Amino acid sequence: SSAVSPAGDLTSQILQALDQASPLLSTEAFPAAGFVELKAALDRLASRDMVRYDTLEREEALLEPEGEQIAANGSHEARVFEALRTAVEGLTVQELEKAIGDKNVVKIGQGKAFKEKWISKTKDGKFKAASDSIQDVTQEQMQTIQKTRTYPNAKILADLKKRKLIRMQKIISFKIHKSAHFALAIPEEATDLTADMITSGAWKTATFKPYNFKALGADQQAGALHPLNKVRSELRQIFFEMGFEEMSTDKFVESAFWNFDALFVPQQHPARDLQDTFYVSDPKLADKPRAESAEDTKDYEAYWKNVQAVHQDGKYGSIGYRYPWSGDETQKLVLRTHTTAISANMLHKLASQKGPDGRPPPARYFSIDRVFRNETVDATHLAEFHQVEGVIADYNLTLGGLMEFMDIFFGKMGITDLRYKPAYNPYTEPSMEIFSYHKGLGKLVEIGNSGMFRPEMLEAMGLPKDMRVFGWGLSLERPTMIKYGISNIRELLGHKVDLNFVQNNPAVRLDKV
Ligand code: PHE
């Protein structure tokens, strides 16, 4: 039969060698073959039951550079003795060093030579030989090991290793035997059963290549989701499960109107200050709020006037802030400081929708995207982060309802035992910071901010008085850092992120309750 293995390739070398003698040892028969290639060739033959093999492991002793030196030139102490043997008058340290040409050999060698009583000191402090001849056992040991790669006495071997003259190395070899289907060449193998083989009958005598069920396939260089994106997709799932609609968050730049004024944030509020807010210098001003599509028939001019009135003079039963409201201030462009700017825009649109009863229908919106704040960058703060935000609009909602909802929402993220602390937001009343007990840190940590949106904000939009809206916000970074055990935000975001970290991290699963 015809053979496929080219003459000289490793599989055929193995078959030829086995034909002469079986079993054989790979280290003797193929001393130059690489381990990986040899094992691949053996596996190829073994899978066809042409050979079988055992794997043998043993340790070999190899000389370290110092051991090599001793094998070649003698031990340090022997070299010291050798230099002194012919110097009848004895030598000073300096002379000895010059004769040997290696200070280190003299330093170590003379001490040992004294111990062996090979040398002694003259009255005037010189070194001299104290014997006619010596036996350099260490050199003999090194030479034996160099030749045989081992030494008959295990205790000496261990001792030489401790003295760093030798090191031990694992050697793997194979004991190879002929097996049932042994032949001098691998028979030609068909990889497929073809129509031709069936019609010609060749299939009856053909040898089929066995399947390799152990083949792993090539490594895939696939893309990887950033940890923030993984946690984000878990959170999106929670929102969708709870009937939320995702808000479009494609505007990093907003007008101060939507970011602040629509939210009843007074124009003198410290958050508007350059310290906290990035203002855009070119272009400086936005258009006044206006419809962005043909379907949007809302009266933006009236809304604008309502916002002015409620800030400046008071309206809807509120006495307002009583300051001269500036239209120009609202047109300033900012990098949005929160996604609540988008919630405001969406709630304003909700006011003109009509449900079955002709009134705005209940709604649940969420978003997860980037916001910007002019903060000092440190281990836990960057000038930007991702805000997770949700709002729920419905008739006659209560604060108790908000708290119950938070229990369910955070419970789905695996965060339980919530605590609330009264807080302040210009756009919510009451406002509450949300805390949870962090077992790792052993204390309560803030996990979010929440509140019932104020009538000053909602009624100016035209939402009915009995429609209540509550909202909350948290950062995406905090739960992600906790999940992935990161303490420095710069390991998560920015130019210092290690791409292997992104590539190798598993998908996150929030423990649901
Ligand atoms: N905008 C708030 C923040 O930046 C979050 C929040 C949203 C609070 C909605 C109350 C209501 O933290």
How far is residue 83's CA from residue 99's CA, in Å, rounded to a whole number? 7
> For 375-398, b where at least 16 C-beta lie within 10 A, e where not — what string?
eeeeeeebebbbbbbbbbbeeebe
Q: Which of 384, 386, 449, 454 to mutate to test the pocket of ligand 1 (most atoms within 8 A of CB)?
A: 449
Rounded distance from Cα 450 to ligand 1 centre (Å): 6
pLDDT in tens, the chain (513 residues): 344 444 458 999 999 999 999 999 998 899 888 889 999 999 999 988 999 999 999 899 999 999 999 999 999 999 999 999 988 889 999 999 999 999 999 999 999 999 999 999 998 889 999 999 999 999 999 999 999 999 999 999 999 999 999 999 998 999 999 999 999 998 888 999 999 999 999 999 988 887 888 888 888 878 888 999 999 999 999 999 999 999 999 999 999 999 999 999 999 998 898 778 999 999 989 999 998 888 888 889 999 999 999 999 999 999 999 999 999 999 999 999 999 999 999 999 999 999 999 999 999 999 999 999 998 888 878 899 999 999 999 999 999 999 999 999 989 988 888 999 999 999 999 999 999 887 777 788 888 999 999 999 999 999 999 999 999 999 999 888 877 878 888 888 888 888 888 888 777 776 654
Nearest CA to ligand 1 atom 2: 473
Quick check: 490 and 496 in contact, CB under 8 A?
A: yes
Tell me, yes or no, whether 201 and 235 share the same domain: no
Is the CB of residue 136 less than 8 Å from the CB of residue 75? yes
Taking the centre of ligand 1 as the mean of its atom positions, its distance from the CA of residue 272, in whole angstroms, is 15
Distance 474 CA to ligand 1 centre (A): 8
Domain extent at residue 271: 229-504
Please check whether residues 363 and 455 belong to one and the same domain: yes
Distance 478 CA to ligand 1 centre (A): 15
- Beta strand segments in 30-147, E: 51-63, 119-121, 127-129
5 in any annotated domain: no
Residue whose CA lies nearest to ligand 1 atom number 3: 473
C-alpha 152 chain-centroid distance: 49
pLDDT at 4: 47
* 104 and 127, same domain (yes or no): yes
Beta-strand relationship, 467-475 and 384-395:
antiparallel
H-assigned helices in 101-194: 103-115, 137-148, 154-162
**Atom of ligand 1 minimally distant from the CA of 450:** 10
Could you tell me if residue 513 is inside a domain? Answer: no
Q: Sign (positive/negative) of CA torsion 152, 154, 159, 164?
A: positive
Measured in Å, residue 425 CA sits from the centre of ligand 1 at 8
Distances (CA, A) of 37 to 14, 40, 175, 295: 12, 5, 16, 71
Residue 258 CA, ligand 1 centroid: distance in Å: 14
Instruction: Note whether residue 112 is domain-resident.
Output: yes
Is residue 215 in some structural domain?
A: no
Looking from the CA of residue 391, the nearest atom of ligand 1 is 9
Q: Are residues 245 and 336 in the same domain?
A: yes
Say if residue 322 is in the same domain as residue 193: no
| High-pLDDT (> 90) share of the chain, % | 72
**What does each C-alpha distance from 342 to 255, 258, 330, 370, 487 come to in angstroms?**
11, 7, 15, 12, 30
CATH number at residue 271: 3.30.930.10
- Residue 22 placed within a domain: yes
Asked if residue 68 lies in contact with residue 165, where contact means CB atoms within 8 angstroms, the answer is no
Length of the chain as a residue count: 513
- CA–centroid distance, residue 430 to ligand 1 (Å): 12
DSSP code, position 489:
G
The pick from 259, 263, 340, 384 for probing ligand 1's pocket by mutation, whose C-beta has the most ligand atoms within 8 angstroms, reads 340
- Domain boundary pick from 105, 135, 165: 135
Q: Are 44 and 11 in contact (CB under 8 A)?
A: yes
The complex scores an ipTM of 0.96
CA-to-CA distance for 346 and 430, rounded, in angstroms?
21
The closest-lying atom of ligand 1 relative to the alpha carbon of residue 340 is 1
Give me the CATH number covering residue 131. Answer: 1.10.10
Q: Say whether both 100 and 167 belong to one domain.
A: no
Instruction: Give the ligand 1 atom nearest the CA of 453.
Output: 11
Query: What type of residue is 141?
Result: Q
Cα 187 from Cα 448, distance rounded (Å): 71
From the list 495, 288, 292, 235, the residue with the least C-alpha distance to 382 is 495
User: Do residues 350 and 446 both lie within one domain?
Assistant: yes
**Overall domain count for the chain:** 3
Q: How far is the CA of 472 from the centre of ligand 1 (A)?
A: 5
Rounded to the nearest angstrom, the distance between the alpha carbon of 444 and the centre of ligand 1 is 20
Report how far residue 72's alpha carbon sits from residue 284's, in angstroms, rounded to the nearest whole number: 83
Cα separation, 415 vs 482, whole angstroms:
12
Kindly state whether residues 117 and 264 are assigned to the same domain: no
Q: How close is the Cα of 329 to the center of ligand 1, in Å?
A: 22
Domain assignment present for residue 399? The answer is: yes
Q: Which of 176, 208, 240 is the last residue of a domain?
A: 208
pLDDT digits over 388-434, tens only?
Answer: 999 999 999 999 999 999 999 989 988 888 999 999 999 999 999 99
Mutate to test the pocket of ligand 1, among 244, 338, 421 (most ligand atoms within 8 A of CB): 338
> Do 297 and 413 belong to one domain?
yes
CATH number where 40 lies: 3.30.1370
Q: Are residues 283 and 356 in the same domain?
A: yes
Last residue of a domain, one of 115, 135, 155: 135
- The residue whose C-alpha atom lies closest to atom 10 belonging to ligand 1 is 450
Between the CA of residue 3 and those of 43, 160, 207, 211, 297, what are the distances in Å? 18, 52, 12, 19, 83
Answer yes or no: is 218 within a domain. Answer: no
Cα dihedral angle (407, 412, 413, 416), rounded to 10 degrees? 40
Ligand 1 site-directed mutation target among 472, 474, 476, most atoms within 8 Å of CB: 472
Rounded Cα gap, residues 129 and 442, in angstroms: 73
Shared domain for 414 and 488, answered yes or no, is yes
Atom number in ligand 1 closest to CA 387: 4
Distance of CA 126 from the midpoint of ligand 1 (Å): 89
Q: HSE (CB half, 13 Å, CA atoms) of 206? A: 16
Domain co-membership, 274 together with 342 = yes
Q: Is residue 217 part of a domain?
A: no
For ligand 1, atom 5, which residue shows the shortest CA distance? Answer: 473
Ligand 1: lining residues by beta carbon, under 6 Å: 338, 340, 389, 425, 428, 449-451, 471-473
Q: How far is the CA of 340 from the centre of ligand 1 (A)?
A: 6
Which is nearest to 452 in space by CA: 470, 426, 474, 435?
470
Q: Token digits for 234? A: 């878990």
Among the atoms of ligand 1, which is closest to the Cα of residue 338? Answer: 4
CB neighbour list of residue 58: distance below 8 Å, 6 or more residues apart:
170, 171, 173
Span 79-110, pLDDT tens digits: 999 999 988 889 999 999 999 999 999 999 99
